[in-house]
């Protein structure tokens, strides 16, 4: 197999990947515990690659908006880290959890400090701290995504937000438990409303590949201003690599070899620092909540291009 270490265009590679994925028999099942997501067709597939200068390539359903879900945790982490720096890490850890993303198990014996910012407990802490600093964490996130993607029409999916709120007892339990350890500043109902709106943002592969570009540019936003220091961008990428795909991060690193963050809407973003950012979407999930076709497509991408962090 020929490895193209410096492709002049990603389009032929994406088309080859799409053909391979089309022949893949098993695609997993959509998330059924969020009713608004359960009806998604697991055969849908889209993939986009954005270069640091904003050039974007795509294939399949790459311009179809989907529910971003936990992918947004990357952006709220970056927005809060830019504001408070290392003080954030006093309230949330940086270690893989080894447990499901909505687990309560570790919180009690770790005194209400979530293991990392990408499990639900950790994301609630980050959203809480961003909300304290901005007065509207979800609004701050949406404004950032619109600016970085160049798409002013990005917005929340109110049906998804309502569906999550109606089935949000576990997240409420996480919030109240951490509040009992004084690790939550805002009233839990306010925090949950912000969190559910954050997770309900609908965006396409093109939107998210472009919006993630600041991590490939070592912290520089699309307009040339700096959001994160180079060290902070490294930190976000590192936590994505070790914690970004729930309790399957080791397998993802083994197969794909890139910092990545998945969501139960079927999307995955990934970063090749200094080279490009990717987003892939296919709603069928494996038992750990990651897109089956999405992981396979990213695996093929790094194999065909030779682009990885290893």
Residues 241-256: pLDDT tens digits? 999 998 899 999 999 9
* Residues near 167 by beta carbon (within 8 Å), at least 6 away in sequence: 33, 34, 35
**Of 15, 21, 20, 10, nearest in space to 291 by CA:** 21
Checking if the pLDDT of 5 tops 90, the result is no
Domain boundaries, the chain: 11-305
Above pLDDT 70, what percent of the chain?
A: 95
Report phi then psi at 271, rounded to 5: -130, 130
| pLDDT, tens digit, 9 for 90 and up, residues 103-123 | 777 888 889 999 999 999 999
Average pLDDT over residues 7-27: 89
Tokens of 171: 């997240």
Tokens of 146: 């619109």
How far apart are the C-alpha atoms of 68 and 105, rounded to whole Å? 26
What pLDDT, on the 0 to 100 scale, is given for residue 2? 37
* Residue 266, Cβ density class (10 Å: 0-12 exposed, 13-18 middle, ≥19 buried): buried
What pLDDT, on the 0 to 100 scale, is given for residue 7? 53
Of 68-72, 93-97, 99-103, 306-310, give the lowest mean pLDDT range.
Answer: 99-103
Residue 116 annotated as binding? no
Of how many residues is the chain composed? 310
With beta carbons less than 8 A apart as the criterion, state whether 114 and 93 touch: yes
Of 56-60, 126-130, 153-157, 243-247, give the lowest mean pLDDT range.
Answer: 243-247
3-class SS shares of the chain: helix, strand, coil, % to 5: 50, 10, 40
How many CB atoms sit inside 10 A of residue 69's CB? Answer: 23
With beta carbons less than 8 A apart as the criterion, state whether 110 and 94 touch: no
How far apart are the C-alpha atoms of 215 and 146, rounded to whole Å? 16
Checking if the pLDDT of 266 tops 60, the result is yes
What pLDDT, on the 0 to 100 scale, is given for residue 88? 98
With beta carbons less than 8 A apart as the criterion, state whether 279 and 269 touch: yes
Average pLDDT over residues 36-62: 94
Residue 151 annotated as binding? no
Largest CA distance in the chain: 56
How far apart are the C-alpha atoms of 88 and 126, rounded to whole Å? 8
pTM over 0.75: yes
Checking if the pLDDT of 3 tops 80, the result is no
What pLDDT, on the 0 to 100 scale, is given for residue 1? 33
Residue 158 annotated as binding? no
Which one is predicted more confidently, 144 or 24? 144
Residue 74 annotated as binding? no
Q: How confident is the model at residue 6 (pLDDT cuts 50, 70, 90)?
A: very low
Checking if the pLDDT of 184 tops 70, the result is yes
How far apart are the C-alpha atoms of 248 and 24, rounded to whole Å? 21
Checking if the pLDDT of 86 tops 70, the result is yes
What residue ranges in the chain does DSSP mark as E strands? 46-50, 56-60, 66-67, 155-156, 201-203, 260-262, 267-272, 276-281
With beta carbons less than 8 A apart as the criterion, state whether 190 and 131 touch: yes
What CA–CA distances, in Å, run from 300 to 71, 73, 147, 247, 273?
21, 25, 30, 21, 18
Residue 171 annotated as binding? yes
What CATH number labels 11-305? Answer: 3.40.710.10
Which one is predicted more confidently, 200 or 167? 200
Catalytic annotation, residues: 70, 73, 195, 246, 264
Which one is predicted more confidently, 306 or 40? 306
Residue 264 annotated as binding? yes
How far apart are the C-alpha atoms of 228 and 129, rounded to whole Å? 17
Average pLDDT over residues 18-37: 85
């Amino acid at each position: 197999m020929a490895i193209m270490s410096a492709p002049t265009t990603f389009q032929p590679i994406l088309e080859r990947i799409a053909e391979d994925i089309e022949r893949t028999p098993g695609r997993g099942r959509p998330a059924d515990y969020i009713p608004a997501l359960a009806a998604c067709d697991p055969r849908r597939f889209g993939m986009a690659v954005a270069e640091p200068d904003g050039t974007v390539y795509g294939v399949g359903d790459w311009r179809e908006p989907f529910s971003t879900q936990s992918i947004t945790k990357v952006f709220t982490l970056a927005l809060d880290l830019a504001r408070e720096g290392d003080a954030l890490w006093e309230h949330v850890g940086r270690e893989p959890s080894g447990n499901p993303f909505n687990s309560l198990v570790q919180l009690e014996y770790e005194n209400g400090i979530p293991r990392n910012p990408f499990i639900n407990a950790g994301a609630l802490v980050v959203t809480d701290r961003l909300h304290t600093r901005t007065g509207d964490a979800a609004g701050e996130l949406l404004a950032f995504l619109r600016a970085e993607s160049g798409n002013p029409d990005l917005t929340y999916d109110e049906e998804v937000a309502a569906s999550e709120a109606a089935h949000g007892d576990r997240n409420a339990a996480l919030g109240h438990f951490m509040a009992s350890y004084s690790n939550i500043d805002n009233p839990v109902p306010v925090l949950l409303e912000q969190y559910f709106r954050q997770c309900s943002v609908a965006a396409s592969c093109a939107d998210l590949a472009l919006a993630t570009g600041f991590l490939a540019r070592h912290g520089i936003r699309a307009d040339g201003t700096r959001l994160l220091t180079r060290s902070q961008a490294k930190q976000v990428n590192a936590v994505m690599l070790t914690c970004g795909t729930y309790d399957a991060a080791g397998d993802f690193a083994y197969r794909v070899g890139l910092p990545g963050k998945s969501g139960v809407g079927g999307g995955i973003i990934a970063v090749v620092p200094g080279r490009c950012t990717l987003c892939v979407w296919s709603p069928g999930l494996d038992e750990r909540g990651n897109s089956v076709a999405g992981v396979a497509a990213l695996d093929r991408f790094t194999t065909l291009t030779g682009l990885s962090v290893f």
